[in-house]
Each structure stands twice: as structure tokens, then as C-alpha cells.
Structure 1
């Protein structure tokens, strides 16, 4: 049985839940830090043990096994024990950082914006990846590293779906509502062309899948008509389906999206922010470290980042709120 997630109003529900949670924490007297203005929280936290968490872009168990070697590499750079784990979804890791259960998060851009707004999380780095040669294939241009990527809407080549208007009345595989490439950018792009994915008159159904590989597979297997995925997601299933690009093709490619982040909790001390920043950049330059980060999210290295790099995301978020109106 396929579970269809009705997304209309999801953002409002999430916001109301957070407000209720914060109020309850204040009344209970057990989470005073959460009740403070995030921007006024003192940045003096020095970790004795570092907790690093990832979000699944593909099979969660696979991500965790690939990430485990980072524990040893980071411990060597930072001099403290390191625990690596994988979150169930984007919202969970944001809340875990806000409640100080996670020190470092590998957050996609929209999840970072949410973490910064709610808990003053600090972005340290943006990932560098090889650019994609063109919008029609997933072939990489290994002569060019960039700090951005794009989202695509993919369909079966034999589906007859050629444009965004053809998605009316169709079933679309999507990621969590805080996923930039798996929800925000493609949904807003549709909205800007007059198609509100949440408007009942368009008769569009959305199915939440865990990982962009699952989005591609759902289209391949005809479980959904289309999928919101990051550009090049077909590479994730090429091992099992070598001719995937002959069967699943993009009908739309979005504008540039800032790359994934390495983000720390809001009260991390400036000294440790710099240590963590340097550690990830240094690890990425080693043979072993590069192998780990490349296998995880196709990261080829890291570049310093700042909050203003994500203002474009905030603009898209404002438009995304209109989807529920």
C-alpha cells in the first residue's frame, strides 16, 4: 500500500508545533536555553566529545557505514572522541542541533536556513562538487568544481510528460518539506509557472520517499509519474540500471542552489568553529578523507561559507509559503 502524504499546510503545522514545544519547555523549566533568543545565546561551548550527524540522500544504512571512517579522521584532527550517526530526516537533525544533542550537522541548504532561524546554527563550509556538463545528462565535468547544484524534475522517457503543465493530475515522488532540491526549488518553480502543487484543482498527489535514489527508482518502476531530485541523481542507481538515462529523463532544471553545508550548533565557541572548519578542509585534501566525503555526498572538497550566501533560499522559502494559501 502506498502512503500518500498530504502536504498542504505542512509548514504551518511544523511551525505551530515548534512554538508549542518551546512553550512547554519553558513551563517545565528544563530547557531554558531553548526559550532564549537564539541570537543571544553565548558561543562558549567546547565539546569533550563531538557528535556529527548526516541526513540520508540515499539508503540510510549505506550512508552510515560510509561515514564511520570520519570518526577516526576527525578524532585525529580535533583530539576528542567523535560519534557519527545518520538522522531519519532533515527536521530531526535540525531539532537535534537545537536541543544540543548534535554538534555538527551535514545540512542541505534549506535545512541550514531553518536551523539558523530557529537555533542560530552557524554555517562553516559549503561543499564543492564537480559541475554537471549539461542539463540533459548526469555526466560530470571533472575540470570544474562549484559550490552550487541544481534540482530537476524527472519522468519516464515514455511517459508522454514533456512540460510542467503535464504534471497536473500526476503523482510525484518528493523528499521532506525542508529538502531544497527534493521539494522547495521544484515546487516553487512550478508555482512561478502557475502550477500550485498543493492546489486541489491541479489534482497532484505527492509521495514522500527517503532518498533521491528512491525518487528515481519510483519513476523507473512506474510507482510515480515524476520525481523531484538533485541534478545527477540518476547516477545513484546506474550500478543496478546502467541504461537509466535512456529510461528516466529530466523535463525541468532549476536555477543554482547553494551546495550542502557543514554547520555547527549555535553555541559552539569561535575557536572550535575554526578548528572544525580547518579539520574538514584538511581531511578532504587527504586520500583517505577525500574518498570518504566523495562516497557520502559526492563532495570533492570544502570552501568557507557565510550566512548571506543563503539569502536566495530565504526568498524561495517565502514563495514556498504561498503554496499553502
Structure 2
């Protein structure tokens, strides 16, 4: 065999070897690309966590009380945590939708909105001690619901829902379950439309402000959560005697801890476990109790809030 012929044969063998290796390389590349895509499609894994809520009473005081949650959550989760106060629930819903906030303390109606618009997921429901009338005494039983009340001054002469026609009522924003949805819908069931019937609504920031607006005679009535009078007892000793409920609504599912919709299942479970663990400690319990009157947290699911969707549908009749 000539030297030239040998060289040609070697070249041919090298080319064939390279061609045979090429599909293997391409398959390997394909696997690599697929793996990267799969990893990124699994969801959001936080490197730091932003938590936001709306206070039910004085915002400045509550934010100071809530700040220590940052350290407790960081210890549980192993990543930096920022806790802040928002102006209203709509702001939190939009912030979660735009991925600026990862975890929101949302009341039921705001959660339903966040789930519908952005696919946000409820992971926990707050637990509170039940409340008995007439003076909002706490029971020893932890429950996953609460109620809304319509408060008036005892000396106002207002005795029933029908007496609210032509009056001025302090309310929260329209996503507030206790401060708007439930009392407004149940008033409608009793033949009084809060958007009509000569009623003027005044939006106030916080249920404590609703109570005080009635106490100070700035409004004739207020929509508040049952037990809200206790928020001002320290400063207004006669509040239980002077401001009284004329109506108490049906059961409302308790507040939620909700996470953004693209968060991984692993981190949803991790955050849920962290909040439940924190609630069991003295320091953690003191914080959640003073901020929201939460006593602990229980696992939750979306179907728990179908009753809210029913009330939301009924609320549409207010503008008809």
C-alpha cells in the first residue's frame, strides 16, 4: 500500500469517527438545554423574601410591632426578609402581581381577587379565639372564621338596618370583607342598599378609625370586624357602653397568608411551616397577636373561599 493511499485512508477514518461522534454530541447538547429549561420552569425560588400587610389599626405603631418578624422569618428560612406595611389591600394585590411582593397578609376578598387576577396561592389561614356578644368576650376556642358588625352610638336612636337609610356610614375599602362586602351584602338582603337609599359612605383607614368615627359622632354607623371596639378601649374607657352593634353578619373565613402564584411548592411549604413555627414561640405569638389578633395558623386551600366568591357576586347587585 502506497504512502499516499495510507494517508487518504487515515483521513477517511478520522472523518467517519467525527461524523459518528456528532449525533452523540448533539444529543448531549439537547439534554443539557432541556434540563436548564425544566429547572427554570419549576417556579420562583426566593433569594430574599418581601412580606407585606395592611394594618387593622394605627399603621405606624403596627409596623414597629411587626418589624421583628423579619428576624424570626430569616432564622427559619435562611434568607433575608423585609416586612413592610402597605396603604391598602389593592396595593398589595398589585405588588404581588408585579412580583414586587412575595408574601401578603390578605383578607379573604383581597385573596380571591389576587387568585383570580394573578393565580396567587393561599397557604395559611389565621386562627383566632371566638368572640361572644354583647361585649366581645373571647372564648377559649380557636376558630378559622370571624364576623363583621355594624356599630352605632347607643344614644343615636338607630336600632336596625332599616334605620340606616339616609345616614352616614364609615367603611373600609371595597376589597375589605368585614369593612365592606359582608355588611353591604347582608344589608341588601334586608332591603337597604348602601350605595343608594340616601346613604353616604366615608372611607376610613383602619377599623379603629371606624369605631372612633361613630364614637365621636362623625358618622352614624361603621362597618368593622367583630371585636374592633377593643382596639380603642385603652383610650376610650366607655366604648363598649357608648358604641354598640345593631347587626352581626354570618361567618367570614379568617385572613390568609398568601404567596405569589409562581412560587415553588417547596418554598410554599417552607414558608407555611415557618409561620406556624413562629406562632408557637412566645416572641412570635406576641407579634402576630398584637398586629392582627392572630393566635396561630392552619393550612388552607382555595375552596375555603368559595363563600367569598358568592358574596362578591351578590355585591354586584349594589350598583344595579
* TM > 0.5 fold call: yes
In the TM superposition, what are the counterparts of 1:8-87 in structure 2 within 5 Å? 44-87=43-86
In the TM superposition, what are the counterparts of 1:140-289 in structure 2 within 5 Å? 140-141=138-139, 143-199=140-196, 202-289=197-284
What is the CA deviation profile of residues 60-106 of structure 1, one whole-angstrom value per residue up to 9, with x for unaligned ones? Answer: 11121111000000000000000000010010000000000000000
Q: Which has the higher helix share?
A: 2
Separation in 2, partners of 1:42, 1:263? 21
Q: Give 1:324 deviation, angstroms.
A: 1.0
Residue segments in structure 2 that go unaligned for 5+ positions in a row: 1-39
**TM-score, normalised relative to structure 2:** 0.87
SS in 1 for 2:94: helix
Are the aligned partners of 2:211 and 2:222 in contact in 1 as well (CA < 8 Å)? yes
Separation in 2, partners of 1:263, 1:256? 20
Are the aligned partners of 1:43 and 1:266 in contact in 2 as well (CA < 8 Å)? no
SS in 2 for 1:182: helix
Return closer, same or farther for 1:43/1:242 CA change in 2, 3 Å cut-off.
farther
**TM-score, normalised relative to structure 1:** 0.85
Are the aligned partners of 1:56 and 1:211 in contact in 2 as well (CA < 8 Å)? yes
Q: Give 1:133 deviation, angstroms.
A: 2.2
Are the aligned partners of 1:42 and 1:267 in contact in 2 as well (CA < 8 Å)? no
SS in 2 for 1:251: strand
Are the aligned partners of 2:148 and 2:179 in contact in 1 as well (CA < 8 Å)? yes
Where does residue 99 of structure 2 map in the other structure?
A: 100
When the two chains are superposed, the root-mean-square deviation of aligned CA atoms in Å is 1.0
Aligned residues between the structures: 281
Q: Does 2:290 align with 1:295? A: yes
Separation in 2, partners of 1:56, 1:71? 16
In our comparison, the structure showing a higher alpha carbon Rg is 2
What is the CA deviation profile of residues 291-311 of structure 1, one whole-angstrom value per residue up to 9, with x for unaligned ones? Answer: 110011000000000000000
Q: Give 1:197 deviation, angstroms.
A: 1.0
Return closer, same or farther for 1:83/1:158 CA change in 2, 3 Å cut-off.
same
